[in-house]
């Protein structure tokens, strides 16, 4: 089964360039503005969109994305409303891949079978779950694959060659390499070190490898895109959104443009990089 993610990477390979992957929290700073931002991303240059599922105990997220999750929850965002946002996006865009990223607890409470059916119907293409290791694949990974959703696994600097085959066993769509040991936004990615890590992962899989955590500028995005099949940016976009809010944390007329303008700048950096070697 070819998914939107598979199709997008096939297109990018023909174009000879890497992907620009954006991350924003669903419902930040409110559901309506969040949908407007998500709708603006493809035109600004996003190839794949990751949407965070707000959660109260985000172990991998740094202060910026934690705050984004809290803004969204305060504005009434739920997993059900996140799927409604996906449906709203799909009314105008049936090609841009959408990936939900987050933690297992909200999905467990929602109900795995109901979540997968609703996510597929809404137009979700893939899932990234931070807290489900390969040993728990029967919980969500295998059912997701059977439902036609990609299950994208994280690999980190501490995932050694002995562990990688287990991590990659049921991974599909792409591999998400976390460039630093720590939470999001904690440090800058070192493109040389990342290049070595991506080359090592590629010895174990034919899947595209995208790199996230620690990428904030067009220059950094380009450096990573030269080494990998995609660069993922989240914290910098969340910070741009935050900085556009008023003193009460509400959206302003600048909010959508603040994110879209930064996405356009970062996308230009990625498009200046050559496709990473397969």
Residue 61 a catalytic site member = yes
3-state secondary structure of 233: strand
Are residues 59 and 186 in contact, defined by beta-carbon separation less than 8 angstroms? Answer: no
Catalytic member of 6, 28, 47, 61:
61
Q: How wide is the angle at C-alpha 74 spanned by C-alphas 110 and 50, nearest 5°?
A: 60
The answer to whether 26 and 120 have CB atoms below 8 angstroms apart is no
Residue 160, both tokens: 């050694």
As a whole number of Å, the end-to-end CA separation of the chain is 22
Q: Which of 66, 76, 70, 64 is nearest to 31 (CA)?
A: 76
Question: How far is residue 27's CA from residue 82's CA, in Å, rounded to a whole number?
Answer: 7
DSSP secondary structure code for residue 276 in this structure: P
Catalytic residue, candidates 50, 118, 226, 239? 50
Q: Is the dihedral of CA 57, 62, 67, 69 positive or negative?
A: negative
Tokens standing for 179? 């460039």
Question: Which pair of structure tokens corresponds to residue 52?
Answer: 């965070």
Q: Any catalytic annotation for residue 11?
A: no
Query: Which positions are annotated as active-site residues?
Result: 50, 61
């Amino acid at each position: 089964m070819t998914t939107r993610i598979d199709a997008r990477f096939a297109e990018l390979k023909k174009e000879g360039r890497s992907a620009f992957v954006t991350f924003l929290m669903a419902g930040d700073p409110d559901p309506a503005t969040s949908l407007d931002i998500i709708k603006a991303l493809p035109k600004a240059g996003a190839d794949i969109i990751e949407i965070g599922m707000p959660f109260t105990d985000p172990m991998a997220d740094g202060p910026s994305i934690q705050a984004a999750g809290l803004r969204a929850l305060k504005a009434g965002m739920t997993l059900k409303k996140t799927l409604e946002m996906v449906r709203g996006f799909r009314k105008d865009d049936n090609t841009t891949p959408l990936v939900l990223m987050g933690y297992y607890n909200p999905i467990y409470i929602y109900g795995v079978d109901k979540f997968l059916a609703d996510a597929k119907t809404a137009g979700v293409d893939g899932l990234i779950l931070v807290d489900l290791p390969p040993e728990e694949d029967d919980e969500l990974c295998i059912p997701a694959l059977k439902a036609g959703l990609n299950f994208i696994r994280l690999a980190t600097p501490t995932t050694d060659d002995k562990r990688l085959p287990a991590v990659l066993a049921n991974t599909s769509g792409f591999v998400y390499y976390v460039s630093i040991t720590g939470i999001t936004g904690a440090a800058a990615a070192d493109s040389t070190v990342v290049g070595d890590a991506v080359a090592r992962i590629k010895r174990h899989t034919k899947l595209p490898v995208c790199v996230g955590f620690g990428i904030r500028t067009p220059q950094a995005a380009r450096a990573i895109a030269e080494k990998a099949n995609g660069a993922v940016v989240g914290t910098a976009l969340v910070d741009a959104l935050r900085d556009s809010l008023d003193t009460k944390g509400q959206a302003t007329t600048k909010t959508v443009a603040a994110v879209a303008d930064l996405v356009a700048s970062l996308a230009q950096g990625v498009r200046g990089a050559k496709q990473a070697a397969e």
